Amino acid sequence: MFKKIIFFTTAFTFVVVVVGAFVRLTDAGLGCPDWPGCYGKPTPVHAATDIARAVAEQGGTHGPVSIQKAWHEMFHRYLAGTLGLLILGIAIAAWVKRKALVQSPWLASTLLLLVMLQAALGMWTVTMLLKPVIVTLHLLGGMATLALLTWLAMRQVRAGTPVADAAWLRPWAWLGLALLVAQIALGGWVSTNYAALACIDLPTCHGEWMPKMDFQHGFQLLRELGHTAAGDKLSYDALTAIHWTHRVGAVVVAFYLAWLSWRVARVSGLRAVALIIGLLLVGQVSLGIGNILTGLKLAVAVAHNAGAALLLMALVVLNFALSTTSHKPES
């Protein structure tokens, strides 16, 4: 039962991450401007009068407030709350049954602390009016929760034998995971600053390989959405710098993970995970290009976020598998 709950919670976390991306991409992050309720009510139905008043004040449903966006936001909160309860149950079971499970309960405890931090970041996302650094940290927290749950799920898989003669790949696999996390952070920074369409041509940006960019203001962390730290309006050059950096990161990560999956595929016990990483990588690059070609079509953008989560899970599985390898060096 413990194993089934962990696998279910891992899949559920993936859903929460994807729904969170959907909320962000539909500009529904402020669909309910308070937390944890919606205008102090448990559902948008109960807050219908307040929402209608807010819609009238903003001049129509084109702004951040509408009944539909309120439902998007609250649905994500309901899912996140359910996830928190599931992780609480896992942490309790990990401690109560630690002798029978024959595994340390500290990973489950770390997950519980992480999901509590996620709740705080979710609150600050709303109360701080979508401040980019908070929203990006919230995204990374969700990805970290998914990664740790994937590792915990792999612990429950006791079938099979350790992969031999592949220990030399460990540092390269960890580097691949680190590069992917950095690229996910860059992608989050693009999304939270609404810079996904700062460059609308490929492979150049504004017809140039090195367009005019403002890195100083683009990568200032402590600032409000759409503004510099000094309060001035964030320039288009700053948005271009954010987008361009993510593109360059995508090229670096794509080439590295392609090389890594090729080397991993040469190890007989890891060929399946290498194939999965390779296929996900091709899909993720294609979706990234598709975001530009389709003008950030919602389905493509959400799929791009889902692809990043799946690729992260695959890299975690690879690193877990390599953690059980022998120490014989490469021949």
The whole-number average pLDDT for the span 39-64 is 95
Binned at pLDDT 50, 70 and 90, residue 68 comes out as very high
Q: Considering 159, 194, 224, which residue would you say is the last residue of a domain? A: 159
Q: How far apart are CA 284 and CA 303, in angstroms?
A: 9
Dump pLDDT digits (tens) for 196-212.
Answer: 999 999 999 999 999 99
* pLDDT number for residue 163: 66
115 alpha carbon, distance to own chain's centre: 14
Catalytic residue among 73, 208, 224, 330: 73
- Residues 138 and 254 both lie in one domain: no
Task: Report residue 246's pLDDT band, with 50, 70 and 90 as the boundaries.
Answer: very high
**73 counts as catalytic:** yes
Is a pLDDT exceeding 60 seen at residue 53? yes
Tens digits of per-residue pLDDT, 82-114?
999 999 999 999 999 999 988 999 999 999 999
Which pLDDT does position 157 carry in this prediction?
86
> 3-state DSSP call for residue 276?
helix
Q: pLDDT for 163-208, tens place per residue? A: 667 889 999 999 999 999 999 999 999 999 999 999 999 999 999 9
Choosing from 141, 159, 177, the residue where a domain stops is 159
What pLDDT score does 269 carry? 87
Number of structural domains the chain divides into: 2
Band (329; pLDDT cuts 50, 70, 90): very low
Task: Out of 140, 159, 178, pick the residue that ends a domain.
Answer: 159
Do 114 and 190 share a domain, yes or no? no
* 151 lies in the same domain as 181: no
Contact of 292 with 199, CB cutoff 8 Å: yes
The three state secondary structure string of 283-327 is HHHHHHHHHHHCCCCHHHHHHHHHHHHHHHHHHHHHHHHHCCCCC
Q: What is the pLDDT of residue 133?
A: 98
Task: Tell me the residue range of the domain where 318 lies.
Answer: 162-331
Average of per-residue pLDDT values in the chain: 95
What is the model's pLDDT at position 41? 97
Same structural domain, 200 and 325: yes
Report percent pLDDT > 70 for the chain: 96
Structural contact between residues 46 and 58, judged by C-beta atoms closer than 8 angstroms: no
118 and 257 in a single domain? The answer is no
**59 φ, ψ to 5°?**
90, 20
Q: For residues 312 and 177, state if they share a domain.
A: yes
Peptide bond into 203 cis (omega under 30): yes
- Chain segment 262-303, per-residue pLDDT in tens: 999 999 889 999 999 999 999 999 999 999 999 999 999 999
331, pLDDT greater than 50? no
